[in-house]
Amino acid sequence: MAGKKGRSSNRAQSALELVAAARENPYLRRLIEDRTLRRRLFGALAAARSAYGRAVNGRPPARALLEDRRLQRDLLQAVTALRDVAKGVREQPEKAAGASKLLRRSLVVAGIGSLAAVAVSKQARNKVLDLLFGKEEEFTYSPPPSGSGAEQSPTYSEER
pTM of the model: 0.45
In eight-state DSSP terms, residue 160 is -
Q: Is residue 128 packed enough to be buried (19+ CB in 10 Å), middle (13-18) or exposed (0-12)? A: middle
Q: Is residue 46 part of a domain?
A: yes
Judge whether 158 lies within some domain. Answer: no
Answer for the pair 46, 97: CB distance below 8 angstroms, yes or no. no
| Confidence bin at 1 (pLDDT 50/70/90) | very low
Q: How far is it, in rounded angstroms, from Cα 123 to Cα 59? A: 80
Please return the burial class of 157, using the count of CB atoms within 10 Å of its CB with bins 0-12, 13-18 and 19+: exposed
Contact 136, 130 (CB under 8 A): yes
Q: Is residue 36 part of a domain?
A: yes
**What is the Cβ-side half-sphere exposure of residue 143, based on CA atoms within 13 angstroms?**
3
Convert 126-140 into a string of H (helix), E (strand) and C (coil): HHHHHHHHCCCCCCC
Query: Is residue 20 situated within a structural domain?
Result: yes
Q: What pLDDT shows up at residue 6?
A: 60
Tally the domains of the chain: 1
Q: What is the pLDDT of residue 72?
A: 87
Residues 27-60: tens digit of each pLDDT = 888 888 888 888 988 988 888 888 888 888 777 8
Q: Is residue 24 part of a domain?
A: yes
Q: Given its phi and psi angles, is residue 141 left (phi above 0), alpha (psi -120 to 50 degrees) or beta?
A: beta
Query: Which residues have CB under 8 Å from 18's CB, separation 6+?
Result: none
**Structural domain includes residue 78:** yes
pLDDT of residue 67: 84
Q: What pLDDT is stored for residue 151 in this prediction?
A: 57
Q: What mean pLDDT is predicted for residues 132-148? A: 75
Q: What band does 134 get if pLDDT is binned at 50, 70 and 90?
A: confident
- Amino acid, res. 125: R
Q: Is residue 6 domain-resident? A: no
Question: Is 88 within the bounds of a domain?
Answer: yes
pLDDT tens readout for residues 67-126: 888 888 888 888 998 898 888 888 766 555 567 788 889 989 998 988 888 888 888 888
d(CA 95, CA 86): 18
pLDDT of residue 154: 57
User: The domain containing residue 47 runs over which residues?
Assistant: 13-94
Residue of higher predicted confidence among 121 and 150? 121
Separation CA 21–CA 13 (nearest Å): 12
